[in-house]
Structure 1
Amino acid sequence: MSVHHHLDAASLMRYAAGDLDPAFAIVVASHLAMCDECREAVRLAEAIGGACLTDVPEAALSEGSFTRLSRMIDTETDDGAVKTVAGVKDADRVDGEVPLPLRSLIGESLDEVPWRLVVPGVHRHRIEMADSQSSLFLLKIGSGRKMPEHGHGGTEMTLILRGSYSDTFGRFSRGDVADLDEHVEHQPVVDSDDPCICLVATEEPTRFKGVVSRLMQPLVGI
């Protein structure tokens, strides 16, 4: 798979350090399953972090630390959270349309997702994430559709799973990820024959520029 748009270095470092919100960690893990370059960058970051830990002075643990850690591991293992957001190994690389880190949340087929129509030509499927302060959802945008010009209230990551779109930053197709912050404004246009299906994590609601788009935002929920 040829990936042209990659994750920001800061996002890769935060993922390697386990410092990302769970919604964003799902997008990163899904991209890693599709991108050799970013997967290798995470491995390097993890190796650097491990080397730094060897130089940290030893410190005494508080009473009951091991018990609390064991309880956390047991809880996460039971609900599958660790499997979902853990670092992607070679065996986890995508062998279908849905990356492995995403399958436990939506299944193995994008065509079987229970989409909800939000406006003509645009469907959404919200993904519930426990312990996440951000929103995670799938968007399906019809061929030739142009999204309203908009910015972002915070960080937003968009991973393309099917189809493609173009904006001021270039053309984004399967495996590409847009790692954007609150300073970015753009207007994606779907330029593929098939609808463009994206996995999106966002800290804050989208900031639409047009009056009509702003009025409709509470109904659209994006």
Structure 2
Amino acid sequence: MTLQVQHHISDELLLDFASGTLAEGWSIAVATHLALCPSCRNRLSFMEHAGGELLEAVDIDQTSSATDSWQAMKRRLAAETDKPAAQAKPRAAAANDAVLPEPLRSYLGADVDGLKWRALGRGAYHIPIKTGDTESQVRLLRIPAGKPVPEHSHGGRELTLVLKGAFTDGSSVFRRGDLEEADETLTHQPVATPEEDCICLAVTDAPLKFKSLIVRLVQPVLGI
């Protein structure tokens, strides 16, 4: 069975990763997605190559704004996206492939079967992941098959990367390798699909804003 990633990293987030300006928490999510997504690895390679060309082309005596450079990069990315993605072929997953790819597995010290999960309630579990980053909070989540995450909005950015199973969010389905980006404008209630538990990597930079009063009351204890 081949891995078909449908939901990819935004151009802006990938560019920040390529330029080395992302904090550690966000970088873990992006790097883990890249390990699962050949298409985004190709985009990253193109960005790095195009970025080098842009630097060489800019005369340091000219007044060229960062916005102009980014607009030029986006035009090149759009042109590249229109071309057939001959190199972005999904690979067949080997039977013994780990659920957690690198670099995430090194942060946790084991694959999912060797981890000690902490209960969140209603059958859900999590594992906070320590980083040297004070900007973001990183955790592994396990949501029971067929069960929803409590409805919530966001105080900032949230990245959710599916590592096993799947979840639905409105009309969209997110499976292994898919990355969902959310911000203050989105209120949602993801639901794990019924086939198996959904294991995700979640990165946030602010506490979630839950609709349920009960969840809000226990939120400081759970650290979510």
What is residue 207 of structure 1 aligned with on the other side?
Answer: 209
- Report the Cα distance in structure 1 between the residues aligned to 2:58 and 2:26, rounded to whole angstroms: 29
**Alpha-carbon distance change, 192 to 108 in structure 1, aligned in 2, over 3 angstroms:** farther
After TM superposition, the runs of 4+ consecutive aligned structure 1 residues lying more than 3 A away are 55-58
Q: Contact 1:114–1:125 at 8 Å: present in 2 too?
A: yes
AA of the residue aligned to 1:39: R
Query: RMSD across aligned C-alpha pairs, in angstroms?
Result: 2.0
5+ residue gaps, structure 2:
61-92
What is residue 187 of structure 2 aligned with on the other side?
Answer: 185
- Report the Cα distance in structure 1 between the residues aligned to 2:171 and 2:34, rounded to whole angstroms: 21
- Report the Cα distance in structure 1 between the residues aligned to 2:137 and 2:171, rounded to whole angstroms: 23
> Alignment partner for residue 159 of structure 1, among 158, 161, 164?
161
What is residue 14 of structure 1 aligned with on the other side?
Answer: 16
Q: When the two structures are superposed, what TM-score results if normalisation uses the length of structure 2?
A: 0.79
Q: Contact 1:126–1:138 at 8 Å: present in 2 too?
A: yes
- Report the Cα distance in structure 2 between the residues aligned to 1:167 and 1:55, rounded to whole angstroms: 43
What is residue 87 of structure 2 aligned with on the other side?
Answer: none
Indicate yes or no: 2:86 matched with 1:110. no
Q: Contact 1:118–1:219 at 8 Å: present in 2 too?
A: no
> Alignment partner for residue 27 of structure 1, among 22, 26, 29?
29
How far the C-alpha of 1:108 sits from its partner, in A, is 4.1
What is residue 143 of structure 1 aligned with on the other side?
Answer: 145
5+ residue gaps, structure 1:
59-92
Cα deviation 1:163-217 (Å, max 9, x = unaligned):
1111115111111110111211110111132211101111111111122221221
Cα deviation 1:104-138 (Å, max 9, x = unaligned):
11134111111100212111100000134110110
**Alpha-carbon distance change, 132 to 53 in structure 1, aligned in 2, over 3 angstroms:** farther
Q: Contact 1:164–1:196 at 8 Å: present in 2 too?
A: yes
> Once the two structures are aligned, what percentage of the paired residues are identical?
40
Three-state SS of the structure 1 residue aligned to 2:105 is: helix
AA of the residue aligned to 1:163: G
AA of the residue aligned to 1:125: I
What is residue 3 of structure 1 aligned with on the other side?
Answer: 5
Indicate yes or no: 2:215 matched with 1:217. no
**Alpha-carbon distance change, 12 to 169 in structure 1, aligned in 2, over 3 angstroms:** farther
